[in-house]
Structures are given as structure tokens and as C-alpha cells.
Amino acid sequence: MVLGRLVLVSVCILSWGMSGCNDDTLYTGSNAQVEDDNNDIGDDQDDDIDDQNNDDDGCSEPSDFSCVTCDIERRIGDPVCEGGQWVCPEGYVPPFDCEFIEDPPPCDGSAFDVGCVDFCGSDVIEPSVCEDGQWVCPGGMIEEPACGPNTCTGLPEVCCLEPGGSAITPDCVEGRWECDWAQCASGDMDGHWQETGRVDCETGETFVSEDPAAEFILFGGGGFEMTFASGLFETFKHYWGSYVYIRGNSEGTRGDLRVSVEGGNFIPESPEFFGTVTWLEAPAGLSRILIEDLTLEQPYPIDEPRACGYYMERR
């Protein structure tokens, strides 16, 4: 302290003369030195406090490790600073904390060697996945071979619609979708039909018969009556019996007709005959059909080509 004051006095004498220095100046300089020393001490204390705070709330040094998951994927994540230390987030650990995990054994062949389906009969086949050296189907899916060799593939079409609009679908029979057409029996053909032409079995040409079916009456209860033009008088009928008409598709544009003769004034040699019915375009109030694949036996011999198809109209 004394040495500092002597140095200050010397400076005052050299700079301004003795008149420029007084006790206030000397004391002021001395006090300023003390104040500077005190400030330095305070700054050091503040730095120590800041360092202590940093140690509590943050990490002063960058992390020197990464974090991983201990599963087969070994995902990498960054550590986070907590309480002044770098730690791994939840689900992650330092790499040296994981036990060594061997890679799973590979699968031979292709993922499509074992096809997977949502349900037996589906034609959408998904690939299998490799697990522990085996091709397996994902959860909820079925291995296609487990469905059996007679499994029907694809989604079946609607066989027909019931009068109320409910769909009749086919059954799977030995690997094929088959409709039970008996479920599709309908009254679409009920009414009075009259023949308008025939189809020659050999040439396929249309001709008009000398003795056409003048009255082919199909009743709502499943009965029928047949009268050819040659017997069209009073209440005469050539033969009668029962019939079943089955829709062949959901639109009702084709179907199958089965007629069983059960009595009459003329009994055909074949009391049952079957035909395929195709519905044709017709003006409003009129129905037109073509019945094919059958031959109606005539009550009397006629010199004309054998017919395999019959055009009919219903008013």
C-alpha cells in the first residue's frame, strides 16, 4: 500500500507539479485500486456461481457417445442432458449396454412360395414374411395350401335375386362355384304364350310351322297347359303338367325351363323336356322369348324341318 502511494505521488509531481496532487487525489487513487481489487474478486465469485448453475441445469461439454435400441433394428438416437449429465432417452441405452444380438437365419426360396390369403377362396394372394428361417403368413392371414385342393377361388357372382331382392349365391362344389338353380325358381314366365316361329335344327334358319303352339299357358302355381293350333277349339288341351323356370343370371335375361307332362289327350314319348330361355327385346306391354335346346313333340306328323328352338310372345 505504501509503495503504491509513493508511486502515485511521484506521478503527480512529474505530471502537474505538487499543486496538482493532494490528499484527496492520493486517497482517491488508493481507493480506486482497492475498488478494482474488490471488483475482480466479485467477478470471480460470479463466475463460480454461474459455473455451479451450469453444472446443475445444463451440460458444459458435448456428449461423447450415442444411444441405441437393443432390438434387431438397432435404431440410433441422441442422448439428452438431464441434471448436468448426458443420458439416453427412454427405450435407448449406450451401445456397450446391449448384449450381442445375432441376425436371424435367412429363409430359402421366395416369399411367394407360401401364399397368404384373407379367406379361403380369395384370389388375392399376399407374400409371406420370413421369421426364424421360415416363411409364415402375417397375423390373421391363412396359408393358401391349407385351404385344400377343392377350394373355389375368387368371389362368386350372384346366381339370382329372390322376389324380395335377397341375393342367392352359389356353393363351392369340388373347386367350382355352382348355383342351386332350384332356389331361383320364379314366376317370370307365368302367362299365356303363343308361338311365332321356329328354328331349324340343321340350318339355324327361322320358319313358321303349320301347327304352332297356339296356347302355352304357364300358371302361377307351377302348372301348365299346351294346345297346338290343330286342337284349338273349346276346352280341348293336348297335354298338361307342371313346370319350373329358373333364372340363369341376376339380370333375369336368361333362364332354364323344365316341363313335366303329367296327363293329356296326347302324351309325348319324352314326358319331360328342358330348354334354355333367352329374353328378347320387345315393345312395352309385350314379352318375347326364345326357347332353345328342346323339341316339342307334335300330336300329328308334319312335313317340315325338325325344330330346336321356338320364338314365343306374351301379351
Q: Are residues 297 and 274 in the same domain?
A: yes
- Whether residue 171 is contained in a domain is answered as no
pLDDT at residue 314, as a whole number: 94
Q: Are residues 144 and 250 in the same domain?
A: no
Cα–Cα separations (whole angstroms), residue 199 to 134, 157, 214, 278, 303: 63, 32, 17, 14, 15
pLDDT at residue 101, as a whole number: 57
Cα–Cα separations (whole angstroms), residue 131 to 103, 138, 139, 188, 198: 11, 10, 12, 58, 68
∠ CA 135-138-140, rounded to 5°:
135
- Whether residue 176 is contained in a domain is answered as no
Q: Are residues 10 and 81 in the same domain?
A: no
∠ CA 109-115-116, rounded to 5°:
135
Q: Are residues 291 and 203 in the same domain?
A: yes
Q: Are residues 88 and 112 in the same domain?
A: no
- Whether residue 269 is contained in a domain is answered as yes
Residue 18 phi, psi (nearest 5) = -65, -30
Q: What is the DSSP string of 6-74?
A: HHHHHHHHHHH-GGG--HHHHHHHHHHHHHHHHHHHHHHHHHHHHHHHHHHHS-SS-----EE-SSTT-
The number of residues making up the chain comes to: 315
Domain CATH number, residue 255: 2.40.128
Q: Are residues 231 and 276 in the same domain?
A: yes
Q: Are residues 9 and 115 in the same domain?
A: no
Q: Are residues 146 and 216 in the same domain?
A: no
CB atoms within 10 A of CB 28: 12
Residue 48 phi, psi (nearest 5) = -65, -40
- Whether residue 54 is contained in a domain is answered as no
Q: Are residues 204 and 258 in the same domain?
A: yes
> How far is the C-alpha of 216 from the C-alpha of 288, rounded, in Å?
13
- Whether residue 87 is contained in a domain is answered as yes
> How far is the C-alpha of 78 from the C-alpha of 66, rounded, in Å?
6
pLDDT at residue 181, as a whole number: 64
Please give the residue range of the domain that contains residue 200: 191-314
Number of domains in the chain: 4
- Whether residue 116 is contained in a domain is answered as yes
pLDDT at residue 141, as a whole number: 85
* Partners of 246 in the β-ladder: 185, 256
Q: Are residues 291 and 276 in the same domain?
A: yes
The pLDDT tens digits along the chain (315 residues) read 444 444 333 444 444 444 444 444 444 444 444 445 545 545 554 554 444 444 445 788 888 888 988 876 778 888 999 888 889 998 888 887 776 656 667 888 888 888 888 877 677 788 888 888 888 888 878 887 777 777 776 667 777 666 556 677 788 777 777 877 666 667 789 999 999 999 999 999 999 999 999 999 999 888 999 999 988 887 899 999 999 888 777 677 888 898 999 999 999 988 888 899 999 999 988 999 999 998 888 888 889 999 999 999 997
Q: Are residues 26 and 86 in the same domain?
A: no
Q: Are residues 270 and 248 in the same domain?
A: yes
Is residue 92 within 8 Å of residue 69, measured between CB atoms? Answer: yes
> How far is the C-alpha of 155 from the C-alpha of 166, rounded, in Å?
17
Q: What is the residue type of 8?
A: L
- Whether residue 178 is contained in a domain is answered as no
pTM value > 0.85: no
> How far is the C-alpha of 296 from the C-alpha of 140, rounded, in Å?
57
CB atoms within 10 A of CB 71: 10
